[in-house]
Structure 1
Amino acid sequence: MRHWKTILALALPSILSFATMTASGTINLILVGQLGALVIAIVGVSNIIMYNAWALFSGLGHTINYLVAQSYGAERMDEGVRRTYVALLVALVMGGAVFVVGWFASAVILTLMGGSEAFVKEGTPYLQLRFAAMACSIPIFVYHGFMRGVGDTRTPMLLTVLGNGVMIALTYGLAFGRWGLPELGLAGAGWGMLAGEAIGLLGCFYVYYVRMGRRFGTRRRMKPSLAEIKLVSAESGKLGLQEFAMSVAMLIFTRFVMELGTTAVAANEVALNVMSFGFMPAFAFGATATILVGQEIGRGAPELARKLGTHTAVLGSLLLLLLGAIEFVFAEQIARWYSHDPEVYELTAHLIRVAAFLQLFDGFYNFYGGGLRGIGDTAFLMKTAVALNWLLFLPAAYLSVFVFDWGSYGAWVSLYLYMTVFGLTLMVRYYRTDWSQVRMKQLAGDSGK
């Protein structure tokens, strides 16, 4: 119990940060949902597309998070700053590429997703702006990874609250023409998203280069070695491929659901949004596990690292069970917040009840996956994600939807079957690891402190 205070001090700001993101997405969906089922479907499909774009580059933030945590624990922050510098250079290049691809290929992407002519026409301007916002999100995730790595989870929380506050205000103002702003409909929500991410990025610049500049020397010119560039690239690639395998699977899963009609797509999006109230706290505790495990590995205390990871998983599981109970009991009332269409909210309520308690295993994936990131076990995470998504999740979803004709209910059973197996697999890996042999990630020829 004595470690719970430390865990909560790190986890609670992250929970609030990710809960703010979830709540902002919920409010945004409720706002634009008043524009009709077509708009809800466009936002849902766009969210999946952007999840794939984010997944490609998410490895940068995850890598910096665990490498900086280890460097901080080992009191080798020059190393951590150099590695962050490498990641930021890569993020700059990737952000530019995302902007260009999104601006010129959004209509093609929506067409490939199977959207109707009206779907593509209305969705293209919105998706273009979402890609522009993603160009800001990539370096933000790296900066937040650094901040969390040194144990500062409060600053990312404050920056997230600020950015999402701007996004909500401008979404309302621009989508509906309030406060003297032009009425832009769905495109207004896209501009709100872009403005919120831009504000968040400016806040990261200030914190990293000004507030943290003296303590960590972040304004110095860096000359990272080729070995460091290779390390960051390799680790980012593995963690990015892990996320991308999952995101592509979700994209194909959504494509399967789209064959069931607009109502099914809308219900699927709303249910995913509701369940994100469990995803995000799980992600927050996973990030906390990475911080605590990584720092203790850097300090040369692997057994304490293992213990802290276990305590983090216990606390996170208790929270998910509480959330699951609330979601199960009030499923239909929650669904009605998003849509007044009986077909949409009734189907949504069924999906929420399917997932309410099974989301505990998604928590296991985050908790133990975060701990495994903390020790640098990235190859196992990547291989497991690829194998389970392509050999279990997608075949099960295809059979459920197209062979057994179980509709949306069957699709969600396949989703949570996959999450259950994934979570349990990572838990077993965590406890079967020989922690006495775990060391911090080092460059070739580096002898340590």
Structure 2
Amino acid sequence: MVAAFVNKPEITVPPLHRSRRVLALGLPIMAAMISQSLLNLVDAALVGRLGGDALAGVGLGGYASFLSISVVIGLGAGVQAMVARRKGEGDERQYALPLNAGLLVGLVLSLPLTALFLVISAPMMHFLAPNAPVAGLAEGYFDMRLLGIWAVAMNFCYRGYWNGISRPAVYMRTLITTHVANVVLSYGLIFGRLGLPEMGAAGAGLGTTLSLYLGSLLYLLQTWKLGREHGFMAAWPSATTLRSIARVSIPNSVQQFFFSAGLTVLFWIIGMVGADEVAVAHVLITLILLLILPAIGLGLAAASLVGQALGRRDAADAYRWGWDVTWLAVLMLFVTALPMWLVPEWILGLFLHQPDLVALGRVPLMITGLAICLDGAAIIFTQALLGAGASRSVMMVTLVVQWCLFLPLAYIIGPWLGFGLLGIWLAQALQRLVTSSLLGGLWVRRSWAHIQL
């Protein structure tokens, strides 16, 4: 499969003007996402002052909150794909109609989701937590985060709109403002400062939720000012628009949900190997999630460029954008991954302070450095295909490879055959190779060029 598209004549270094266009769209998105990661670390540091149980509870509640919002996250991909298509078609009065539909669907989904998870919050946390004190702290944090599901849905829809019309700077400044507000509000609510009540770990959750609604308000004000001429809030979305949003968004939401669930299963498998392996794996996955942010930013840029090209009925240009952005992403990740190969002990030493844990993670980190370039290709192809509306194909590839190949293989190689964390990480590298190859194959086939949105 790899050879099938490595030999394509289209895979060349992108011209400078096309690289500049990709970076003009991708860099603001990357800056926003990096700010999110850095401020998340600040948030964790604030909670850490409450003790280990509080930090564990917030970590567990944070994972559960991701699970709860996974259903609405997919709306962002649907809105962006359709907005980019409308922009490519050139009718400015239609640009914001997918946003109207996404906001309505987000409201309809968020209300029952919030009610459902509030009901099951306590038993869910007591099932997942290692002890009752952690479960209680996790429940308080999780309940506060659940109140923000609708805000998450709105923020992802607005992000899809602004990125779809090639205005990522609006997303960047709104997200950075939101995260700064999150730190200030969380600080006040955790410790009872700035005239706010002292709520402990639950205050961190409420601070995050309030900052998300602040972000939604900022998006609303900016979109009301600049998006009315694009049809924002001008009319109820048509049934056709709602169906198109659902067709793109639902598979992506399902993919997000099962990816999150698969990560839980992975940690359960690693836990069968040993507690040290879980600690090292947590550090490795944290590094992966940080280092792939440039690829995600470029991927969102690719989704817009592909959608706009298809709106102009220029499938050849859309195809070219997929490869141009992949080239830039792989090059960027190759450079950022170099320290993983050259000084793995130094990187691990920043997070792990026991020599035996550093030694345990050394080779898996080097494997991560090699495999992350494959991650970059998979992310770009995923976003490019989502920009074309091929979310069902992306869902099938990623879920089948994760659940039918990687997780069973990780269980067999790791705890059953006894190859431990190293064996599991080699299986994960194979997963990335297979996923990027299959997604690349879907891109080469170009069946996505015929999808109507």
What TM-score, normalized by structure 1, do the two folds share? Answer: 0.88
Alpha-carbon shift at residue 333 of structure 1 (Å): 4.5
Match of 1:118 among 129, 133, 147: 133
Instruction: Indicate whether 1:140 and 2:151 are aligned.
Output: no
Match of 2:231 among 214, 217, 224: 217
Distance 1:32 1:351 in 2: 29
Match of 1:88 in 2: 103
Match of 1:441 in 2: 452
Aligned partner letter, 1:295: Q
Match of 1:303 in 2: 316
Q: Is contact 2:248–2:390 with CA below 8 Å preserved after alignment?
A: no
Distance 1:83 1:167 in 2: 29
Per-residue CA deviation, residues 192-222 of structure 1 (Å, 9 max, x unaligned), is 3222212111111112222322x31313122
Q: Is contact 1:37–1:263 with CA below 8 Å preserved after alignment?
A: no
Instruction: Indicate whether 1:430 and 2:409 are aligned.
Output: no
Distance 2:162 2:249 in 1: 17
Match of 1:363 in 2: 376
Match of 2:8 in 1: none
Match of 1:46 among 53, 61, 65: 61
Match of 2:171 in 1: 156
| Superposition pairs of residues 390-409 of structure 1, within 5 angstroms | 390-409=403-422
Instruction: Indicate whether 1:413 and 2:426 are aligned.
Output: yes
Q: Is contact 1:290–1:371 with CA below 8 Å preserved after alignment?
A: yes
Per-residue CA deviation, residues 397-439 of structure 1 (Å, 9 max, x unaligned), is 222443124444444433333223212211122123268xx24
| Superposition pairs of residues 33-432 of structure 1, within 5 angstroms | 33-113=48-128, 115-176=130-191, 183-213=198-228, 215-224=229-238, 226-259=239-272, 264-329=277-342, 331-335=344-348, 337-338=350-351, 351-432=364-445
Per-residue CA deviation, residues 124-166 of structure 1 (Å, 9 max, x unaligned), is 1112222223331111101110111111111011111011111
**Farther-moved stretch of structure 1 (21-30 vs 36-45):** 36-45
Q: Is contact 1:22–1:273 with CA below 8 Å preserved after alignment?
A: no
Q: Match of 2:395, SS?
A: helix
RMSD: 2.7
Identity of aligned residues (%): 23
Alpha-carbon shift at residue 67 of structure 1 (Å): 1.0
Distance 2:421 2:216 in 1: 38
Match of 1:20 among 28, 35, 45: 35
Aligned partner letter, 1:416: A
Aligned partner letter, 1:273: T
Alpha-carbon shift at residue 15 of structure 1 (Å): 0.8
Q: Which runs of 5+ in 1 are unaligned?
A: 443-449
Relative distance call for 1:249 and 1:125 in structure 2 (3 A) is same
Relative distance call for 1:164 and 1:352 in structure 2 (3 A) is farther
Q: Is contact 1:286–1:371 with CA below 8 Å preserved after alignment?
A: yes
Relative distance call for 1:188 and 1:400 in structure 2 (3 A) is farther
Distance 1:342 1:439 in 2: 55
Per-residue CA deviation, residues 107-133 of structure 1 (Å, 9 max, x unaligned), is 222233353223212211112222223
Q: Match of 1:356, SS?
A: helix
Distance 1:331 1:404 in 2: 26
Relative distance call for 1:348 and 1:124 in structure 2 (3 A) is farther
Q: Is contact 1:40–1:266 with CA below 8 Å preserved after alignment?
A: no
Per-residue CA deviation, residues 35-91 of structure 1 (Å, 9 max, x unaligned), is 555444444433433332232222211011111101110023444433322221110
Distance 2:189 2:361 in 1: 28
Relative distance call for 1:37 and 1:179 in structure 2 (3 A) is same
Q: Is contact 2:390–2:451 with CA below 8 Å preserved after alignment?
A: no
**Farther-moved stretch of structure 1 (123-132 vs 62-71):** 123-132
Aligned partner letter, 1:403: W
Alpha-carbon shift at residue 264 of structure 1 (Å): 4.7
Relative distance call for 1:258 and 1:122 in structure 2 (3 A) is farther
Q: How many residues get paired? A: 438
Q: Is contact 1:113–1:255 with CA below 8 Å preserved after alignment?
A: no
Aligned partner letter, 1:137: V
Aligned partner letter, 2:309: E
Q: Is contact 1:282–1:316 with CA below 8 Å preserved after alignment?
A: yes
Distance 1:347 1:291 in 2: 41
Alpha-carbon shift at residue 342 of structure 1 (Å): 6.5
Aligned partner letter, 2:251: K
Distance 1:338 1:3 in 2: 38
What TM-score, normalized by structure 2, do the two folds share? Answer: 0.87
